[in-house]
Amino acid sequence: MTEPSLSQQEFIERERYHRNKVRICRIMLLVLLLALWELCASLHMIDAFIFSSPRRIGSCFIKMAADGSIFLHVGVTLWETLVSFFLVVTVGVAAAVALWASRSLSEILEPYLVMLNSLPKSALAPLLIVWLGNNMRTIIVAAVSVAVFGSILTLHTGFMQTDPDKIRLIQSLGGTKKDILLKVLIPSSVPLIISNMKVNVGLCLVGVIIGEFLSAKAGLGYLIIYASQVFTCEYPLTGKTMD
Amino acid sequence: MKSKLEVEHLCYSYHTLEGETKALSDISFDVRDGEFYAIVGPSGCGKSTLLSLLCGLIEPEEGKIRIDGVERRDSHAAIGYMLQRDHLFEWRTIFNNVTLGLEIQKRLDEKAKEELRAMLKTYGLSQFQESKPAQLSGGMRQRAALIRTLALKPDILLLDEPFSALDYQTRLEVCDDISTIIRTQKKTALLITHDLSEAISVADRILILSSRPARVKHVLEIHFDKEYDRPLSRRNAPEFSAYFNELWKELKTHD
Ligand SMILES: Nc1ncnc2c1ncn2[C@@H]1O[C@H](COP(=O)(O)OP(=O)(O)OP(=O)(O)O)[C@@H](O)[C@H]1O
Ligand SMILES: [Mg+2]
């Protein structure tokens, strides 16, 4: 490797300066907001009993960390989220590929998917408990149902927009539908799949929390419900911070 | 010289719910072995449709296509198709792009890879083997696309306006480059183009199509002296403008 030129070094220097600036400002903004909150609480501008304060949340967290209970709740929620996320991604990609491969199938199922996607899943959660029982399976099914239909629709729409000329290219090289899938469709959809995954993590977490609200013995959602019943706002806010 | 490709009474229509679009009606022509055959015609007349039929992407409604005297469907001749844009895959390196065809046909072995490396070297792309397509200029991308097509050792090359995405100067150079490559490899080639001077500068014969539905209007034979064998030098030949006027007149006449 030759020494990078002066202008390249300057460019890297500027870029590094910019990144540092962004990082520092981000942290400062957080500190500022927390300080403001704490200040308002201690000056009684807001009711610390209802709004809590960073200090109270901190001590509550330390207390729960000391008896280990917070880690149990976080761990349970994290595990449920990961499992449902994994299910959503595999089912989503597989179903979208199947819909792409068969025009009839996609046209038959489309109205059902749109309907299932627009259904308020949180309203379904109580039904799920009745069907599946009060256990972790219910929570995971609830989380999957929140994210999976939207995921299928988004991926399928993306798949259908694959450049037809790229498909012709594969065909002219003697490729089959499988080659189109593996060599064009999947690779060209990687950015779409990744951005869809980012959305899904969030949705799965929402789904898991909803599920835990209704049927759980542990997890952050359980913690939030428990706390709101005993009216200690530190609990749910600590839970939320952990998210 | 014997015919490489014979097309007889070819007809094709597109069907949609809105109606039928007749694209080709009764097209017949033949291409000799090793010939560089250009096809010109008004926009939307059915030129790309014709190439899709020759390549087997769609089946003719009527008429026959024969390669070396054998029906296209039964023929084992390899046909290379180069589309209007290069369609290099951005997620693959240049080397992995040119191996695409062999990979699909499961013929990619060490020997083929060696040959491709040599080809990349001959056409001045060897230091870009591991680059992504975005790092190449338009002309280099087009050359990479040609190598991807040539990698399957096609007997017939179909080129659908391969230079139209390039700016004028690059276009002249790449056209010169690519047609020289095709000529030295003694391939039979069909080139679709909008550019009449391009057609005259590369072709042995030019097929002139009418507007949609396409019919054969005329086939123009092009002869240049030996000294004008490259496309760029052809443009300076005295006969060039005479050919251009003839071609222009043929395209203009409505009958
Ligand atoms: N998939 C399709 N479905 C319906 N009609 C089509 C389809 N593809 C092409 N056509 C129609 O067939 C006609 C011929 O199309 P084609 O692409 O072969 O023209 P072309 O000569 O290659 O045009 P250009 O010079 O603009 O590339 C056009 O009028 C077009 O509208
Ligand atoms: Mg065309």
If one residue of B14, B24, B50, B160 were mutated to test the ligand 1 pocket, choosing by the most ligand atoms within 8 A of its CB, it would be B14
**Which pairing describes strands B216-221 and B188-192: parallel, antiparallel, or unpaired?**
unpaired
**Given this model, what pLDDT does residue A242 score?**
52
Residue A1 Cα, gap to closest chain B Cα (Å):
16
Average pLDDT score over residue span B92-118:
91
Residue A17, pLDDT > 90, answer yes
**Residue A168 pLDDT greater than 80, yes or no:** yes
Tell me if B104 and A163 make a contact (CB, 8 A cut-off): no
Residue B108 touches partner A, C-beta closer than 8 Å: no
Residue B166 corresponds to which tokens in the numbers above?
Answer: 């390039």
For residue A241, pLDDT over 60 is answered with no
pLDDT digits (tens, 9 = 90+) for A200-239: 999 898 888 888 887 767 777 777 777 766 655 555 555 5
The two structure tokens encoding residue A206:
């929402």
Contact status, residue A158 vs residue A190, Cβ threshold 8 Å: no
**B48 alpha carbon to ligand 2 midpoint, in Å?**
4
User: Average pLDDT of B79-94?
Assistant: 90
**Of A50 and B108, which is predicted with more confidence?**
B108
pLDDT above 90 for A91: yes
Question: How do residues B192-224 score in pLDDT, each as one tens digit?
Answer: 998 898 999 989 999 999 988 888 998 999 888
- Going from N- to C-terminal start, the domains of chain A cover 1-47, 67-230
Residues A67-230: name the CATH superfamily.
MetI-like (1.10.3720.10)
Q: What is the predicted pLDDT for the residue at B173? A: 83
- Segment A50-64 mean pLDDT: 80
Kindly identify which residue of chain A lies nearest to residue B154, measuring between CA atoms.
A173
Of the given ranges (A57-66, A153-162, A200-209, B77-86), which has the lowest mean pLDDT? A57-66
Considering Cα of B95, then B98, then B101, then B102, what sign does the dihedral take?
A: negative
Contacts of B161 in chain A (CB under 8 A): none
Asked if residue B16 has its Cβ within 6 Å of ligand 1, the reply is: yes
CA–centroid distance for A187 within its chain: 23
Judge: B83–A168 Cβ closer than 8 Å, yes or no. Answer: yes
Mean pLDDT computed over B74-96: 89
Task: Compute the average pLDDT of residues B110-114.
Answer: 91
Mutate to test the pocket of ligand 1, among B25, B27, B47, B54 (most ligand atoms within 8 A of CB): B47
Distance B46 CA to ligand 1 centre (A): 5
* Among A81, A89, A202, A83, CA closest to A152: A89
Query: Which pLDDT score is estimated for A149?
Result: 92
- Residue of B83, B88, B104 for testing the chain A interface, max A β-carbons within 10 Å: B104
